[in-house]
A and B are shown apart, each in its own frame.
Chain A
């Protein structure tokens, strides 16, 4: 019976998380902030890197994975700030607290919505990297796995630090200061995994994919436990 109730609790958690994720994604679909601001921002950053390093295509190809992930992290800051900005209007954060939803589900739902937005951004940026930086992708499997795990890690960490910064009047400036140092292992791991995948040496990618998996699991776990108290204080 205890096993059944645990299974039921997980189903409830997943259902509640899907309610929150659906709400956030619907708001993004309506407001088009991701499409009209975050995506163009990412492409502009990539373009600026290409202009700055254009004389040497070899350098561009070599640093493409790092530039890609720096761009993703910068765009993620916008997506995370946006995710919590929608909760600050009309007292929506109090509404969310009063909703009766499990705080862990709210965390998972908001992180999932950010992850979906980032994955759409990454798909577009990947095309940008191929076109602008003349990069050819070698091992697709490790590359996709590294990207998914890194995205989950960034989304989970961003959601956790986003709610932490939500109570501050300086949310837009506080999120980068809190978040960027913490996600440096993601930047390092994802860049190395991408380098190995692009070079066609997938065996070099697996240790970094392991690092990304540990980071994603760690911050998803911390977030599900800590989000509730942080939301109450926000």
Chain B
């Protein structure tokens, strides 16, 4: 199994506060890793560090074969991040937002249209982001991520704001990850739902990994 994420004693500071205080983590290709822990445990910071949105202050971090201490932008084309915001433009339609993300990542326009259909937004393709409901915007954020055809998918509370159909779509995507050679890290408080899907759980507390389930224990 190829290692997609490898962290050793990774420290990330937010101002002077060590939001990550020496994290060790290995994630292999095809894994769906659930990041659990209370508010302020460091889940979002860990995802943003792996995405290269935050700098590594100490330790080692290698993602998709790139050393983040040297270059935290080179791996971004191969990953997709769904955070608390949609990263979309209000004045563009759902289709235009997804196509922009797909073209930027070097993916085909067909991938963008397929991603919209996959999250059940095909009928809203021409509706602007501004006019979508909150739940539809969350689906659109997922479509933007899928359209990039990433090797690594980082999801921060992806179930928040999704209706029952949206959650079912997301669960199906996560279950299909292994067969699609997609590696997923999910920070979530939906523990029961995610434990049935994830191949492994990593519990964070105070910016450190304090427990991890054995590999594939929950597959």
Contact (Cβ within 8 A) B87 A92: yes
Task: Please tell me which one of the listed residues B78, B90, B103 contacts residue A90 in the complex, with CB atoms under 8 A apart.
Answer: B90
Do A228 and B87 contact each other (CB < 8 Å), given the known contacts A97-B53, A99-B101? no
Residues of B within 8 A of A91 (CB): 83-87
Do A92 and B89 contact each other (CB < 8 Å), given the known contacts A30-B128, A97-B53, A99-B76? yes
Contact (Cβ within 8 A) B87 A101: no
Residues of A within 8 A of B52 (CB): 98
Q: A228 vs B76: C-alpha distance in the bound complex, in angstroms? A: 14
Q: State whether the Cβ of B32 lies closer than 8 Å to any Cβ in chain A.
A: no
Task: Please tell me which one of the listed residues B77, B83, B86, B92 contacts residue A100 in the complex, with CB atoms under 8 A apart.
Answer: B77
**Interface hit among A19-27, A131-139, A167-175, A210-218:** A19-27
Provide the main secondary structure of the chain A interface: helix
Do A19 and B100 contact each other (CB < 8 Å), given the known contacts A94-B83, A95-B88, A98-B87? yes
Task: Please tell me which one of the listed residues B73, B91, B101, B144 contacts residue A30 in the complex, with CB atoms under 8 A apart.
Answer: B91
Interface centre among B51, B78, B91 (most CB of A within 10 A): B91
Contact (Cβ within 8 A) A26 B96: yes
Q: Fill in one digit per residue for B81-119: 1 if any A CB lies within 8 Å of its CB, else 0.
A: 101111111111000100011011110000000000000
A residues near B (Cβ < 8 Å) are 16, 19, 23, 26-27, 30-31, 86, 89-92, 94-95, 97-101, 103, 228, 232
A-B pairs with beta carbons under 8 Å apart, 28 shown: A16-B104, A19-B100, A19-B103, A23-B100, A26-B92, A26-B96, A27-B91, A86-B91, A90-B86, A91-B83, A91-B85, A92-B87, A94-B81, A94-B87, A95-B87, A95-B144, A97-B53, A97-B73, A97-B76, A98-B51, A98-B53, A98-B79, A99-B76, A99-B105, A100-B77, A100-B78, A100-B105, A232-B73
B residues near A (Cβ < 8 Å) are 51-53, 73, 76-81, 83-92, 96, 100-101, 103-106, 128-129, 144, 148
